Copies of this chain bind each other. A is one copy, B any other.
Amino acid sequence: MKKEIKKVPVVDRRIQRTKKLLFDAFMNLILEKGYEEVTIQDIIDKANVGRSTFYAHFESKEQLLSNSHQDLGKLLFSVNNHSKIEGIDFLSLYNHAKSHSHVAKAMLGKKGGDLVINHLRDAMAYKILNELKKKSGKGKAELKMLSFTAEATAAALTRLLTCWLDDDMPFEPELMTERSNQILATIL
């Protein structure tokens, strides 16, 4: 048999470099002029990358964004091994946001688009609804109002995070976690 050992798909360094250049340029441009105003032309200019190179990797700025914000989503609340409660790990969320505040502000701040924010909110709503279902009847109307409640609560929690970021994180993650759990507790 031939060498089947090296199955690790080593990513070409050029690709890593290009993607990082594009992503960093995008983040900075968002903070400069706001998500909507940033064009692909802006990005490739600032990154100093050929036009065709951009389209070799992404097909839009949305895709360039969502490429890297999936990691965020996962890291934030999908797998929280240490937490016994299977709810949302707000402390990890706030700590992670704080230690990557530059990117976090670009993605979730007021200059950023609503794409990532809404995605985060939707994911939260899904989790919350699951929790709510456990503690309630199964009537059709009741279930619908329950999902509205989940959506509203997720919106509140997301807003709390984005305000905190936009205000340059004036409180410690621990305090924000406490406040978040308070809000969550009022509806559970």
User: Footprint of B on A, CB under 8 Å?
Assistant: 114, 121, 141, 144-145, 147-149, 151-160, 163-164, 167, 170-171, 179, 183, 186-187
Contact = CB atoms under 8 A, between A and B. Distances in A.
Given A155-B156, A158-B155, A163 B148 contact: yes
Contacts of A171: 141, 144-145
A82 to B, nearest CB: 26
A117 to B, nearest CB: 9
A161 to B, nearest CB: 9
Contacts of A121: 159
Contacts of A153: 156
Contacts of A155: 155-156, 158-159
Given A141-B170, A155-B156, 9 more contacts: A141-B171, A145-B179, A148-B164, A148-B167, A148-B179, A151-B159, A152-B160, A152-B163, A156-B159
